[in-house]
Structure 1
Amino acid sequence: MDIDYVITWVDGVDARHKAKRQQFASETHFSPGVLSEKQYEPRYSSDGEIYYNIASVLKYAPFIRRIFIVTDNQKPALLDAFVQEGKCKADFLQLVSHDEIFAGLEAARPTFNSLAIETVLWRIPGLSEHFIYGNDDVFFNAPVTPNDFFRNGLPVFHGKWKRAEDRRLKYKLRQFLAKVSSYRNDRPRHRIFLWRGAALARMKRRYLCMGHYSFALRKSTFERFFAQNPDVLKRQLSFRYRNEAQFNSVSLANHLEMVQNGIVPVREPGLAYVDEIVHKTEMEKIRQGVVPFGCIQGMGGYKAAARMRLHRIMIEKFADTLPESVKHMLMSELAVS
């Protein structure tokens, strides 16, 4: 069974990309007092996480056929170093532009909306039926096998069950306030996106709340659903920035698999999750490799000492699959910081 790996990536520092964000942000209304995604620069920042992600695939997931990196006609500066320094074959790393995955859907372009982009990843030309999707800030922290992601041709997934959001008092209160006041219930919320994905799959009472892992998916699951529900796809892609009316496409696929194929979520395998608080215990999980998955959230917002420590741990961990030029670049940035 062929298994591909898909990474979404953006260079938010790129002047052209920033200019486009500002140009189209005026089309989108954000409630007063809510920090909009056009203003939240760290959401579009890149601090070398994608190189760790690629290195982790090479080190811990050798069964991956190809890595597709989806960008808005951009390219990580040192991507070619993996081939030039013999870390992988020339055709292993494939750049995919938004032009390709949004072909025939040009009205949605440009988009700065991760939910919209994730919804059309299945349209990557040449993508295998079975694929794994991960943001650029996730990585494999220990060896994994195909069986960790697919069993009998069906995806493996995990999470915790939560009560449907429209059955929770907090959600009902927000809805009520929106009706009787100027309050706008439009702040992007991860749990809302997950719940809406489950609801589209006709799971109304509860939904699976997923962590920051790499996700096993099947291309045909998306193909069938959107062939039958083209209006759902059109509406999902109509938002240039994330909007609470949208859904998480991974959640949609997982809940469709549960409804249609009776898949039961498995126990969560363990995650090393480091954010701006930068827990030392989480860094230690990375250093020791005691859990199979890792995620680095918002590294650009870390204090210099914490960022330096994390980079050193990651460079040491992936010393054999990170190109020397990438290590040099990362270490040079550490010296400046």
Structure 2
Amino acid sequence: MTDIDAVVAWVDGNDPRHVEKRKKYRQATRDHAEATRNTRFDQSGEIYFCVASILKYAPFVRKIWIITDDQRPMLIDEFARAGLCSPDKIEIVDHKTILSGYEQFLPTFNSLVVESAMHRIPGLADKFIYFNDDFFLNRPQKAEDWFTDAGPVLRTQLLPTRSSKFKTKLRAFLRRATFRPPNTKPSFGRNQEAAAARFGLHDQYWAIGHHAHPVRKKTLQDYYNEHPDLLEAQLQYRFRSVFQVLPVSLANHIEIVRFGVKPIEYEKPAYVKPTSEDRLTNFLENIRAENTLCGCIQSLDEAPEDVRKIVVSAMCDKLSSALPPKVKAFLSNSDFSAHQDVSA
């Protein structure tokens, strides 16, 4: 088995410099409100759970690349200082590096732009696992859980597109009949459907969830080289747009349609959105029993403080052996409830 890396996209949306940049470019553009919500940028230290889970459960990972916007997680070096990894195990990569030659699209506040350029990390292994910073590994892994000789191990399911559903068609008709503009709200599903459409799939698509994803660098690299228009189109949006494709979904559809990779049965992640407290019990049971391969803590910044403390405590207990003492203290004692409003 060749080298496998991990790539994590991260931003500190509470950084005053980042807040000011977002204000400036939001005022200069006309983006859908869903693309500029604070929760897309706020963080509550989830990056440390992500990194700790990789160190604990995926020792085969060669290097962890964290993509940032002129920032650095303030306690990231504690993993090496605590002897949990070598000093060169974790490396920070700036947006300027992956968008070299495309500086006209900087700054960007769009995860789909970052994902479209992540294959351009200098020194990145051809096989890598992509994480949002709120994803984590939930149980011990082996390299074959992610890549085999047949290609990446794709956990996906074939679903009907929203545009093929009668309800969606009716809503579109009523919008036209009442002279309202089309719905341009970006969404995880619609950006996946856009990727499928590039391969002639309009009624169904290979859907993914909120979990880590195996990607081959060469798959994206070759496709963008063949379709430079797509890469430019992806990069032009400073905030997420309904007119973009989800790059991981694009890679999956290339693997399935072009290279004949056979998806395996879809496995739901251990998932919690702390604003939905009814999911909390199932999430806690799942991470303790290690029932699933991956997990996701979505929008922890929006959780009530008591719920946040429950989630953080459970994750600190779960990953205790891979979390530096300073990181555990920081996560346990910090108050992430105050966030700056950049909606004006």
Aligned to 1:9: 10
Aligned to 2:263: 265
Q: Distance in 2 between matches of 1:170 and 1:335?
A: 39
Alignment partner of 1:211 is 2:209: yes
User: What are the ranges of 5 or more consecutive residues in structure 2 without an aligned counterpart?
Assistant: 339-344
Q: Distance in 1 between matches of 2:114 and 2:31?
A: 20
Q: Which moved more, 1:173-182 or 1:86-95?
A: 173-182
- Assess, with a 3 A threshold, how the Cα gap between structure 1 residues 159 and 150 changes in structure 2: closer, same or farther: same
Alignment partner of 1:227 is 2:252: no
User: What are the ranges of 5 or more consecutive residues in structure 1 without an aligned counterpart?
Assistant: none
- Assess, with a 3 A threshold, how the Cα gap between structure 1 residues 257 and 24 changes in structure 2: closer, same or farther: same
Alignment partner of 1:47 is 2:48: no
Q: Distance in 2 between matches of 1:235 and 1:335?
A: 35
Deviations 1:220-239 (A, max 9, x none): 11111111111111111111
> 1:287: how far off?
2.0
Q: Given residue 194 of structure 1, which amino acid in structure 2 is its aligned partner? A: Q
Q: Given residue 154 of structure 2, which amino acid in structure 1 is its aligned partner? A: F
Q: Distance in 1 between matches of 2:332 and 2:248?
A: 35
Count of matched residue positions in the alignment of Structure 1 and Structure 2: 333
> 1:88: how far off?
0.4
- Assess, with a 3 A threshold, how the Cα gap between structure 1 residues 94 and 242 changes in structure 2: closer, same or farther: same
CA contact (8 A) 1:197 1:247 kept: yes
- Assess, with a 3 A threshold, how the Cα gap between structure 1 residues 74 and 158 changes in structure 2: closer, same or farther: same
Q: Distance in 2 between matches of 1:242 and 1:81?
A: 33
Q: What is the aligned-residue RMSD (CA, Å)?
A: 1.8
CA contact (8 A) 2:63 2:89 kept: yes
Deviations 1:139-168 (A, max 9, x none): 001011111111105111112211233322
Alignment of 1:1-337 (within 5 A): 1-30=2-31, 35-38=33-36, 40-152=37-149, 154-177=151-174, 179-180=176-177, 181-275=179-273, 276-278=275-277, 279-333=280-334
Deviations 1:267-300 (A, max 9, x none): 1234210112132121111122222211000111
Q: Given residue 229 of structure 1, which amino acid in structure 2 is its aligned partner? A: H
Q: Given residue 80 of structure 1, which amino acid in structure 2 is its aligned partner? A: D
> 1:138: how far off?
0.5
Q: Given residue 293 of structure 2, which amino acid in structure 1 is its aligned partner? A: P
Deviations 1:80-123 (A, max 9, x none): 10111111001100100000000001121111011111111000
CA contact (8 A) 2:34 2:186 kept: no
- Assess, with a 3 A threshold, how the Cα gap between structure 1 residues 147 and 85 changes in structure 2: closer, same or farther: same
Q: Distance in 2 between matches of 1:79 and 1:307?
A: 21
Q: Distance in 2 between matches of 1:18 and 1:115?
A: 19
CA contact (8 A) 1:108 1:238 kept: yes
TM-score for the superposition, normalised by structure 2: 0.92
Q: Secondary structure at the match of 2:215?
A: strand
> 1:334: how far off?
6.2
Q: Distance in 1 between matches of 2:257 and 2:271?
A: 30
CA contact (8 A) 1:112 1:240 kept: yes
Q: Which moved more, 1:310-319 or 1:260-269?
A: 260-269
Q: Secondary structure at the match of 1:320?
A: helix
> 1:336: how far off?
9.7
Q: Given residue 70 of structure 1, which amino acid in structure 2 is its aligned partner? A: I
CA contact (8 A) 1:7 1:134 kept: yes
Q: Secondary structure at the match of 2:321?
A: coil
> 1:30: how far off?
4.0
Q: Which moved more, 1:183-192 or 1:225-234?
A: 183-192
- Assess, with a 3 A threshold, how the Cα gap between structure 1 residues 74 and 336 changes in structure 2: closer, same or farther: closer
- Assess, with a 3 A threshold, how the Cα gap between structure 1 residues 335 and 165 changes in structure 2: closer, same or farther: closer
Q: Given residue 27 of structure 1, which amino acid in structure 2 is its aligned partner? A: A
Deviations 1:192-229 (A, max 9, x none): 10111111133333101111110000011111111111
Identical counterparts, % of pairs: 37
> 1:177: how far off?
4.8
> 1:127: how far off?
0.4
Q: Distance in 2 between matches of 1:254 and 1:30?
A: 28
Q: Distance in 2 between matches of 1:65 and 1:266?
A: 25
Deviations 1:22-62 (A, max 9, x none): 1011232246xxx3433x21221111111001000111000
CA contact (8 A) 1:133 1:214 kept: yes
CA contact (8 A) 2:31 2:239 kept: no
